[in-house]
Amino acid sequence: MSERDSPELPDFSVLKRLARDQLIYLLEQLPGKKDLFIEADLMSPLDRIANVSTLKQHEVDKLYKVEYKPVVSTSDQLCFLIRPRIQTVKWVCDVVNADKAAGKFKRYKIIFTPQKFYACETVLEEQGIFGDVSTDEWAFYLLPLDEDIINLELPEFFRDNFLEGDQRWVRTGGSALHLFHSIYGPFSKVYGIGRCSKMVYESWREQVKEGEQKARQAEVGTVFLIDRDVDFVTPLCSQVVYEGLVDDIFRIKCGCVEFGPDVTSSDKSIKVMLNSQDKVFNEIRNEHFSNVFGFLSQKARNLQTAYDKRRGMDIKQMKTFVSEELKGLKQEHRLLSLHIGASESMMKKKTKQDFQELLKTEHSLLEGFEIRECISFIEEHINRQVSMIESLRLLCLLSLTENGESNQFSNNLNSAWPCQSYGVDHLLTFANLKQLGLLVEQQPGETLTVMESKMGKLVNDKTAGKLTDAFSSLAKKSNFRALSRRLSLVPKSDEEYDLRVPRDMAYIFSGAYIPLSCKLIEQVLERDGWTGLEEVTRLLNGHEFAVTGSNGADLRPQSDAQRIILVMFLGGCTFSEISALRFLGRERGYKFIVLTTAITNSARLIEAMLDNHV
C-alpha cells in the first residue's frame, strides 16, 4: 500500500470557544459578584478553555476547589461548578444547610457538567433545599487536547458503565457525538462494536432526528465506535512508545504533565503541556523509546552547531542571528533539555524495576509461550510485594490471554497470594475484577446454561434475551488466543523487527503485538464493514454494526471527509493506541481523530477497580 497525502484535520478550537461562551452565559445567569467552587477534576479541563481573567470579567470573585469541607466564603452568591455526583451534591446541601442554620441568606447555583442527573436533584429535594438552589447544565462535552485528540474527561465512564452496569453516560456519549456531528458532520458511515457503542449510536441517532441538520460540507465522514471491553489486553500492556511511557510514569493529566526535580535538575517541578505545539515532543511522541535517545542526541548536536555559528560572526550577522534564530533555538533548547531529563529519569525508574524482564513476561503472555515461567515471575512479584497495581495488571493479563486456564498451574494466584501480600481488604477488588471479566475463574462449563434456562422459565421471552446478555457479559471469555491467531496480532517471533522502520502497528509494543482495538479498526475500514470478520465478531461476543447514512452526504470513498475518521473509545483509550492509529493513518492515507471518554493506561484501569476504601 503506497503512502499518500493525508487530508487536513478540521479546526477544533471552535469547540473551546463554544464551551467558553456557554460557561460565560451560565455565569451571567447569576448576576453580580460571586464565589465559584470548582470540582477538583474539572480544574484542568477548565484551564484549557478559560483563564482567571475570563472568569473575573464575569464577576467571579474568588475561586475555590471543592474539598468536601465547610466553606469560608463571605460572598452572598455561591456558584458550584461540579460533576453530577451524589457525594458532591450532598456536600453542597451541607453548605447550604449550614448557612441556613447560621441565619445566613445567600444565592446558590449549581452548574452540572456535562449534564445533570435526576438522582442529584433528588438529593437536593431530600435535603430540603430544592428551590433554594438553582441548577443548570453546562454542556461541556468535547475538550480538544490536541489537533487529533478530543477528550470527554469522564474517567468514571469506565467503571460506571462496564463494572456497575449503569448506563447514565450513554446519553452523554450520544450528545458528545451529536455535538461533534453538528459541527463537523454530516457523517456518512458509522461502524462500531460493543454493547455501549450500539446504545451510544442509538442515542446519537435519536438526537439527530430530534434536531435539524443543516446541509453542509462534511469535514469528517466516517465514525468508528468501540467499547473498551472489546479489548482489555491492549491497555493492560506496558507502554513503550514515548508518549505512552511518559503517561505510565508521570501521568499526563489533561494534556499536561508535571516533571519533578529529577527531570528538571533543579529544585522545582514544572508543568509542561505535551502536544503537537511542542516541536521536540511532536517528533518523538510516537517513537519507540529505544529510538528516542538517538533522536535526542542528534538534536542536541544540531543545536550545538546552530549555536556555534555565532563564532566568527560580525556585528551585522550577529544581529540577524539574534533577531531571527536565537529565539527558536532557545525554545528548542528548553524543550530538548526537558525531554532529555524526562528520558533519563524514566530510564532510571524502569531500570530499578527490572523493566526488561517485565516486558519479556508480557511478550510471552501475548505469545502464549513459556506460561509456566510467566506464572512464576508473577508469583514472585506478588511474594516480594512489588507494586500491587503491577501485580494485578500482570494477573489480569495472564487471565485474559490464557482465558482463565492458567488456574491449572496455580490456584493460589487469583486471590490467596495477593491477599497475603497486599491485604485481605482486596477481596472486594478481586470481586470487581472477576465481575468485569478481567480475572476469569475456571467454572464448570454447565453452570451458566443451567442458570440461564432456569431464569428463562421465570420470565417472558423478551427479558430472557436480556438476561442471556447479562449473563454472557458476566462470564465473558476473552478468547484472546483465538483472536490473536485469526487477526495475526502476534508477529512471528523468529523474525527481526526493526523498530526504527516499523512495518506495522506492532512497533508500539516492540514488535510483539498489534493492538486488537486498532487491528479491528484497520480491518473494518479496509473491508468497508464486518464482512469476512464473522468469526472474529463471534469471538468478541458480537454487537458489531456498520451503517451508511442516506442524507445525501458525500459518499465517495476518495473524498477527504471519508478519509478523516473519528474513532470514539467508550471507556478510554491509551496513548499507545493513538500512536498506532497515527501510524495506520500515515500508511493508508487516513487521518484519525480520537474521541475518548478519558485517556487511560494499565494503572488507571486497575485503580478504577480497587475497592479497599470506604
Q: What is the DSSP letter of 288?
A: B
Residue 435: half-sphere exposure toward Cβ, Cα within 13 Å: 16
From residue 543, alpha-carbon distances to 189, 201, 225 in Å are 17, 12, 11
Kindly state the smallest distance separating residue 202's Cβ from other proteins, in Å: 6
Alpha helices in 369-515 (DSSP H): 371-383, 388-402, 416-422, 427-436, 446-458, 461-474, 480-486
For other proteins, the closer of residues 217 and 387 by Cβ is 387
Q: Which strand (E) or helix (H) includes residue 209?
A: helix 195-210
Kindly state the smallest distance separating residue 97's Cβ from other proteins, in Å: 6
Kindly state the smallest distance separating residue 31's Cβ from other proteins, in Å: 14
Kindly state the smallest distance separating residue 534's Cβ from other proteins, in Å: 26
Which cell numbers in the block locate residue 360?
Answer: 519479556
Angstrom distance (rounded) from CA 80 to CA 92: 8
From residue 566, alpha-carbon distances to 142, 186, 267, 547 in Å are 13, 12, 42, 15
Q: How far is CA 502 from the centre of its chain?
A: 24
Q: What is the DSSP letter of 477?
A: -
Kindly state the smallest distance separating residue 164's Cβ from other proteins, in Å: 4
Angstrom distance (rounded) from CA 140 to CA 35: 20
**Overall residue count recorded for the chain in this entry:** 614
For other proteins, the closer of residues 293 and 545 by Cβ is 293
For other proteins, the closer of residues 165 and 557 by Cβ is 165
In the chain, the amino acid numbered 324 is E
Task: Tell me if 66 sits within 8 A of 46, measured CB to CB.
Answer: no
3-class SS shares of the chain: helix, strand, coil, % to 5? 55, 15, 35
Kindly state the smallest distance separating residue 224's Cβ from other proteins, in Å: 20
Task: Tell me if 194 sits within 8 A of 570, measured CB to CB.
Answer: yes
Kindly state the smallest distance separating residue 493's Cβ from other proteins, in Å: 14
Angstrom distance (rounded) from CA 86 to CA 116: 11
Kindly state the smallest distance separating residue 604's Cβ from other proteins, in Å: 16
For other proteins, the closer of residues 96 and 594 by Cβ is 96
Task: Tell me if 218 sits within 8 A of 44, measured CB to CB.
Answer: no
For other proteins, the closer of residues 61 and 554 by Cβ is 61
Kindly state the smallest distance separating residue 260's Cβ from other proteins, in Å: 9
For other proteins, the closer of residues 9 and 428 by Cβ is 428
Kindly state the smallest distance separating residue 236's Cβ from other proteins, in Å: 20
For other proteins, the closer of residues 472 and 559 by Cβ is 472
Residue 588: half-sphere exposure toward Cβ, Cα within 13 Å: 22
Nearest to 190 by CA among 179, 199, 201, 200: 201
Task: Tell me if 499 sits within 8 A of 290, measured CB to CB.
Answer: yes
For other proteins, the closer of residues 285 and 350 by Cβ is 350
For other proteins, the closer of residues 250 and 592 by Cβ is 250
Radius of gyration of the chain (CA): 26
For other proteins, the closer of residues 164 and 534 by Cβ is 164
Kindly state the smallest distance separating residue 415's Cβ from other proteins, in Å: 7
Angstrom distance (rounded) from CA 393 to CA 400: 10
Kindly state the smallest distance separating residue 166's Cβ from other proteins, in Å: 5
For other proteins, the closer of residues 31 and 532 by Cβ is 31
Kindly state the smallest distance separating residue 585's Cβ from other proteins, in Å: 25
Kindly state the smallest distance separating residue 485's Cβ from other proteins, in Å: 27
For other proteins, the closer of residues 7 and 155 by Cβ is 155
For other proteins, the closer of residues 343 and 517 by Cβ is 343
Is there a cis peptide before residue 186, judged by omega within 30 degrees of 0? yes
For other proteins, the closer of residues 18 and 428 by Cβ is 428
DSSP per-residue string spanning 485-543: HHTT-S--TTS---TTS--SGGGGGTTS---HHHHHHHHHHHHTSSTT-HHHHHHTT--
Beta pairing class for 107-112 and 256-259: unpaired
DSSP per-residue string spanning 214-272: -----S--EEEEEEGGG--HHHHSPP-BHHHHHHHHH--BTTEEEE-HHHHTSSS-EEE
Task: Tell me if 109 sits within 8 A of 80, measured CB to CB.
Answer: yes
